A and B are shown apart, each in its own frame.
Chain A
Amino acid sequence: MLASIRNATKIYGQHKALNDVTFELAEGEVHCLVGENGAGKSTLMKILSGAITPDAGTIVLGGTEYRGLTPRQAIELGVATVYQEPELIESLTVADNIYLGDEKSAAFPLVVDTRTQNARARNLVRSLQFNLNEEALVEDLSSAQKQMLQIVKARYRESKIIIMDEPTSSFGLEETNALMNLIRILKAKGIGVIYISHFLEQIFEIGDRITILKDGESMGTFPRSDVDMDTVIRKMVGRDASLFYAKEDVTPGPVQLELRRLSRRGVVEDVSFEVRAGEIFGLGGLVGSGRSELVNLIFGADRRDSGEILIRGRPVRIRNPYDAVEAGMCLITEDRKKLAMFTPRSVAENISIVHNERYEPPVLNLASERRRVRDMVRRLSIAVTDQDEQTIAELSGGNQQKAVIGRWLLSDGLIYIFDEPTKGVDVGARAEIFRIMVELAKAGKSIIMVSSDMPELISMSDRIGVMRGGRLTHVLGRREVTEETLIKYFIGL
């Protein structure tokens, strides 16, 4: 065995990102790791690359057992990670990047022997049957070439284990084939490759063994010949019924929001759909499929290149979030800390900001504001001891999220966009957020919900739109979806 991770557990707050997972990698093996967004693949790999330390479990590398690794230790023990966003110096050449931190000296000390470096780099690149000019500047390379360069670097450092996390997400067919070839060469040299991908075809093409993760737990490791794609997919999903929420049915009213051919070059392409009053429209897809980008376009946070937005049949001009809010839109963002919270400000200020902007005169009436906030705190049962003194940062994640939602409830909009509404909140708050969403639907609001949480998406949505590669590929009725069909659509099978 090149490496093994034994019984690894990692807990963030109340959330078990990994639960008792065991994973092994043999010499010359391509071991694939599959699972949904947030299944724990990246967490598991971060343990191996030393980015995080497991709360329980051990790592065995080179015959020695470790409780946790530092990034430096991991590199010295031969673990290399190929990132989607390569850590390369753009303004240096390919050869310089390979030798970065380990430059060869010429006759004079401190002077780099570029000639020798270039010659050796050329040999190294050739030995991997990889077409790359060693004197090219990294900034001129394509993103596929940059990823390949990272693999060359790993070879130079004589890494024995190479982790590839979604390497082909931005690749064309030719580039993917080149990578598959390269992986075969690495395999032949006895190197172990851990290959994470949503592209099951690639996994079945190149993988020796497949480990499936679901919600932080291992669903088993299988030799490629023992499983087929359907089995793998079934094991990726298929959750306990208790995770599903029995949403109250709300009879939808007339169409309230209509999107016509919304596009932003390279991000979102030609998306049209409509949402009725009282309807929850779920948006699913893999990370990077363009869901959050789409809601940013709707809300005016990013500029769209073309397309039209209609509210109650009338075209609305939305150039920025101000216009969106005026048109009755509300956006509960995914990244609470970065995009929604005023961390050093009180819970009251955080809740009342949008309402104040829209409905209050320039000079505020603090007494009525206090009353408004108190009512909202009670309505959402936000656990806060002193709404005027306690800052929002002091609340728990669930209560922070409820406070942010409260801000938009006070603004009394027409269209509510929830981007990952229950991310990082506890089970209790989750149920309450669902209750609020149903309440909004009953009040005739239109809701768009982006979610990576499959049970949430299936139980809360009246219809589900599937995004892949910036396009809305399918719109499915609630009764016609299962986790399996959805994940197939996400992956594009």
Chain B
Amino acid sequence: MRRTVSIFREQWFFLLIVEVALAVVTGLINPRFFGLNNIENILEQVSVLGLVASGATLLMISGNFDISVGANIGMSACVMAIMIKAGYGYVPSVAAGISVATFNAFFVGVCSILFKAPSFIISLACIGIFRGIALAFTKGVLQLIYGNFEFLGTKRFFNIIPLMFIISLAGFLIVHFILKYTKVGRRAFAIGSNAQATYLAGIPINLNKLIFFIINGLLVGIAATLLLSRIGAAQPSTGSGIELQAIGAVVIGGTPMTGGRGKIIGTFFGVLLTGIISNALNMLQVNPYFQDVAIGALIIVSLAVSAFSQRGQRA
């Protein structure tokens, strides 16, 4: 019984087909879709989400969730914006922002371990904490840094490829490397599929859980930096809602909510698909409210697809 390992079994391949089809249809109706400008626009739009979703992939494979990443981005972006406005210079400000994001994610992990609570619930509680802290030190005022710190968000190589997208791609590649080639990656899969068995194999669960959260925090910090540079302003609500988009993209990409399985390439195409759908709906002048509906429906459809394909495997 020789098994054929073909790309037709892979979820990302179907996503690619859907994406091409969607692009062709949209492009036929509105040729501007294929304009260089628009494509660059899509790539920039998905960059921040891509970084957050890469981190979420690692976490979800290990059976964890961090739904505080949106609030975390808000707090970290506010820190950076305030420091840049105060004239601390870009490097110290960005370093501080990324540190804040990393510490926050670490905090979620530590609480989840200490209080033996699922990270999902801990991170839910942390949304309020992070956003509240951000509100406290911004006093609710929008932190504008227009004309300042634009480089990351606007630079395009050869005037075509956005720097943001390259950074985002690097995030995907790093997580891919971790998952495929490192012990930390193997532990993520092991813990996600059977934490008890991992423990009995002599692998410390809590330490590794912290490592996953720290990696996630770093990626979230970089995402916050890019987002700040792109929009040129920060407030506590900056980035809110991205956690659900990211989890959605991971699920669309074929990583199950139960952990132990998943590939970063799926997440990549999942992120791309959400970006293309939002953009296409814009291009087709669909009421923007329906974008959320479309993304939500997409998540349900992809869950249904994997449920049915698993049922097929079992039979």
B133 to chain A, nearest CB (A): 34
Query: In the complex, what residue of chain B is closest to A333 when comparing beta carbons?
Result: B200
Identify which of A24-32, A73-81, A155-163, A355-363 touches chain B: A355-363
Query: In the complex, what residue of chain A is closest to B1 when comparing beta carbons?
Result: A385
Identify which of B70-78, B80-88, B158-166, B191-199 touches chain A: B191-199
Let me know if A70 is at the binding interface, CB within 8 A.
Answer: no
Taking CB atoms, residues of chain A closer than 8 Å to B197 are: 333, 338-342
User: Are A364 and B186 neighbours in the complex by a CB distance under 8 Å?
Assistant: yes
Known pairs A345-B190, A357-B183, A362-B184; A339 contacts B200 (CB<8 A) = yes
Known pairs A360-B183, A362-B182; A385 contacts B203 (CB<8 A) = no
Expressed in whole angstroms, the Cα–Cα distance for A356 and B187 within the complex equals 10
Query: What bracket does the count of chain B residues touching chain A fall in?
Result: 20 to 34
Let me know if B260 is at the binding interface, CB within 8 A.
Answer: yes
Identify which of A3-11, A167-175, A178-186, A320-328 touches chain B: A320-328
Query: In the complex, what residue of chain B is closest to A352 when comparing beta carbons?
Result: B186
User: Are A342 and B193 neighbours in the complex by a CB distance under 8 Å?
Assistant: yes
Let me know if B7 is at the binding interface, CB within 8 A.
Answer: no
A247 to chain B, nearest CB (A): 27
User: Are A349 and B194 neighbours in the complex by a CB distance under 8 Å?
Assistant: no
User: Are A338 and B196 neighbours in the complex by a CB distance under 8 Å?
Assistant: yes
Query: In the complex, what residue of chain B is closest to A336 when comparing beta carbons?
Result: B197
| Binary A-proximity of B115-154 (CB < 8 A = 1, otherwise 0) | 0000000000000000000000000000000000000000
Taking CB atoms, residues of chain A closer than 8 Å to B180 are: 366
| Binary A-proximity of B258-293 (CB < 8 A = 1, otherwise 0) | 001100000000000000000000000000000000
User: Are A344 and B193 neighbours in the complex by a CB distance under 8 Å?
Assistant: yes
Taking CB atoms, residues of chain B closer than 8 Å to A407 are: 201
Expressed in whole angstroms, the Cα–Cα distance for A331 and B196 within the complex equals 13
Q: Residue A390 contacts which of B3, B196, B261 (CB distance < 8 angstroms)?
A: B3
A326 to chain B, nearest CB (A): 7
Taking CB atoms, residues of chain B closer than 8 Å to A333 are: 197, 200
User: Are B260 and A342 neighbours in the complex by a CB distance under 8 Å?
Assistant: yes
A220 to chain B, nearest CB (A): 42
Q: Residue A363 contacts which of B182, B189, B261 (CB distance < 8 angstroms)?
A: B182
Expressed in whole angstroms, the Cα–Cα distance for A8 and B203 within the complex equals 46
Q: Residue B201 contacts which of A326, A338, A357, A390 (CB distance < 8 angstroms)?
A: A357
Let me know if A389 is at the binding interface, CB within 8 A.
Answer: yes
Expressed in whole angstroms, the Cα–Cα distance for A325 and B199 within the complex equals 11
User: Are A389 and B183 neighbours in the complex by a CB distance under 8 Å?
Assistant: no
Let me know if A139 is at the binding interface, CB within 8 A.
Answer: no
User: Are A356 and B202 neighbours in the complex by a CB distance under 8 Å?
Assistant: no
Expressed in whole angstroms, the Cα–Cα distance for A357 and B181 within the complex equals 13
Expressed in whole angstroms, the Cα–Cα distance for A321 and B205 within the complex equals 11
Let me know if B2 is at the binding interface, CB within 8 A.
Answer: yes
User: Are A342 and B3 neighbours in the complex by a CB distance under 8 Å?
Assistant: no
User: Are B201 and A389 neighbours in the complex by a CB distance under 8 Å?
Assistant: no
Taking CB atoms, residues of chain B closer than 8 Å to A390 are: 3
Known pairs A344-B260, A345-B189, A389-B3; A357 contacts B196 (CB<8 A) = no
Let me know if A354 is at the binding interface, CB within 8 A.
Answer: yes
Let me know if B91 is at the binding interface, CB within 8 A.
Answer: no
Taking CB atoms, residues of chain A closer than 8 Å to B5 are: 386, 389
Q: Residue B186 contacts which of A321, A326, A343, A356 (CB distance < 8 angstroms)?
A: A356
| Binary A-proximity of B199-225 (CB < 8 A = 1, otherwise 0) | 111111000000000000000000000
Taking CB atoms, residues of chain A closer than 8 Å to B183 are: 356-357, 360, 362-364
Known pairs A360-B183, A362-B184, A363-B182; A342 contacts B190 (CB<8 A) = yes
Known pairs A343-B260, A344-B193; A354 contacts B181 (CB<8 A) = no
Known pairs A342-B260, A364-B183; A385 contacts B196 (CB<8 A) = no
Expressed in whole angstroms, the Cα–Cα distance for A390 and B1 within the complex equals 12
Expressed in whole angstroms, the Cα–Cα distance for A299 and B200 within the complex equals 9
Query: In the complex, what residue of chain B is closest to A365 when comparing beta carbons?
Result: B181
B122 to chain A, nearest CB (A): 23
Taking CB atoms, residues of chain B closer than 8 Å to A301 are: 199-200
User: Are B194 and A354 neighbours in the complex by a CB distance under 8 Å?
Assistant: no
Expressed in whole angstroms, the Cα–Cα distance for A354 and B197 within the complex equals 11
| Binary B-proximity of A381-411 (CB < 8 A = 1, otherwise 0) | 0000110011000000000000000010000
User: Are A344 and B261 neighbours in the complex by a CB distance under 8 Å?
Assistant: yes
Question: Can you list 11 A-B pairs, Cβ within 8 angstroms, ordered by A?
Answer: A301-B199, A321-B201, A325-B202, A326-B202, A331-B200, A333-B197, A342-B260, A344-B193, A344-B261, A353-B186, A389-B5
A-B CB proximity, top 7 nearest: A325-B202, A342-B193, A344-B260, A322-B202, A344-B261, A321-B202, A344-B193
Other CB < 8 Å A-B pairs besides A320-B204, A321-B202, 20 of them?
Answer: A321-B199, A324-B202, A331-B200, A333-B200, A338-B196, A340-B200, A342-B190, A342-B193, A342-B260, A345-B193, A345-B260, A349-B190, A356-B186, A357-B203, A362-B182, A363-B181, A364-B181, A364-B183, A385-B2, A389-B3
